[in-house]
Amino acid sequence: MIIRVSSLEELGDPALGHLLEDYTSLTDVALRRRLETARGLYMAESSKVIERALRAGHEPRSFLMAERWYEQVRGLIASAVGTGGSDDGGDVPVILAPEEVLETITGFHLHRGAMAAMNRPALAGVRQLLASARGGAGARRVAVLEDLVDHTNVGAAFRSAAALGVDAVLVTPQCADPLYRRSVRVSMGTVFQVPWTRVERWPALDELHDAGWTVAAMALSDSAVSLEEFSASPACTAPGSKVAVVLGTEGDGLRPRTVAAVDVVVRIPMAGGVDSLNVAAAAAVAFWELRVRG
């Protein structure tokens, strides 16, 4: 159903306010973390991200956009509400408003035109996730994001994972939410494309080791081997090899307990007096070098 809001005064309507609750305080990270978890939702921003969320089978709660963007996304809306659904959203609210009203609602300029509040899908267990990756053939390359706090880095890591052949991503209990708005936006919606789940305990590598995974930590260590050396080892080149690469938080790197528990510590050789790369850049380099070949 189309709901048009033409002025700021209309925002005082309690019924409209209820429909807009999902979109308020979007710039308050701590508040949104609580609200989105409690309501079981996440925000998709931009028509491209909304399209990828819908193609992944995620269900929309509502849409919010400026009138001029409606024509661009009405086909997506029609597909989202099911076979035979109307392009006005059917029972799903499609809220249209001038840009100054949208900015008042969300707290920022909605320069990408459209947003959608989406129902957050249930996460699979680690064993189920890895077995179902690659269309049921099972994952062979996995990224583990340990305690990343920057949503931009999480989103960038997912985008690299999608582009460079990583079959699944595991995030630790303290890692930033891959479905937070900024992470989704930076990933360009690829967070819906790469299977992922959150592990309940970390570090707890028994489940990976029992299933035949070699777990490699990206870290600065005297015992570390070069990324190139590791990628040429049987752990990566043997038929059916399964490698999980662990990347640590932006400031302190990986936990000492994690480094002690993995099978191998790997480093990217640096030049020019640089000691390390940003975690998102390091992820892209590692994913490319450790990709399944042939």
Residue 10 lies in a domain: yes
Q: Which residues, listed in sequence order, are joined to residue 64 by a DSSP beta bridge?
A: 95, 115
CATH number of domain containing 159: 3.40.1280.10
Last residue of a domain, one of 119, 142, 170: 119
Average pLDDT over residues 209-230: 94
Average pLDDT over residues 89-95: 86
Question: Does 240 share its domain with 131?
Answer: yes
Q: What is the CA radius of gyration of the chain?
A: 21
pLDDT of 68: 85
DSSP β-ladder status, 60-65 and 114-119? antiparallel
Average pLDDT over residues 140-163: 97
Question: Does 115 share its domain with 132?
Answer: no
pLDDT-derived band at 67 (thresholds 50, 70, 90) equals: confident
pTM assigned to the model: 0.89
Q: Is the pLDDT of residue 133 over 80?
A: yes
Write out the H or E segment, with its range, that includes residue 177.
Answer: none
Summary mean pLDDT of the chain:
91
| Crossing angle (nearest 10°) for helices 47-55 and 67-80 | 10
Question: Does 130 share its domain with 240?
Answer: yes
Average pLDDT over residues 261-272: 94
* 193: its two tokens: 């494309």
Average pLDDT over residues 5-28: 89
* 125: its two tokens: 């267990």
Last residue of a domain, one of 71, 102, 119: 119
Give how many domains the chain has, as a whole number: 2
Per the CB < 8 A criterion, the answer to whether 32 and 180 are in contact is yes
Question: Does 109 share its domain with 143?
Answer: no
Q: How many whole angstroms separate alpha carbon 172 and alpha carbon 148? A: 9
Residue 249 lies in a domain: yes
Q: Domain range for residue 68?
A: 2-119
> Per residue in 162-186, pLDDT tens?
999 999 999 999 999 999 989 999 9
pLDDT of 80: 75
Question: Does 91 share its domain with 130?
Answer: no
Q: Is the pLDDT of residue 85 over 60?
A: no
CATH number of domain containing 109: 3.30.1330.30
Q: What are the phi and psi torsion angles at 187 (to 5°)?
A: -75, -10
Average pLDDT over residues 107-111: 77
Q: How many whole angstroms separate alpha carbon 220 and alpha carbon 240? A: 28
Question: Does 145 share its domain with 271?
Answer: yes
Residues 228, 225, 270: CA angle, nearest 5 degrees = 70
Average pLDDT over residues 99-105: 89
Residue 212 lies in a domain: yes
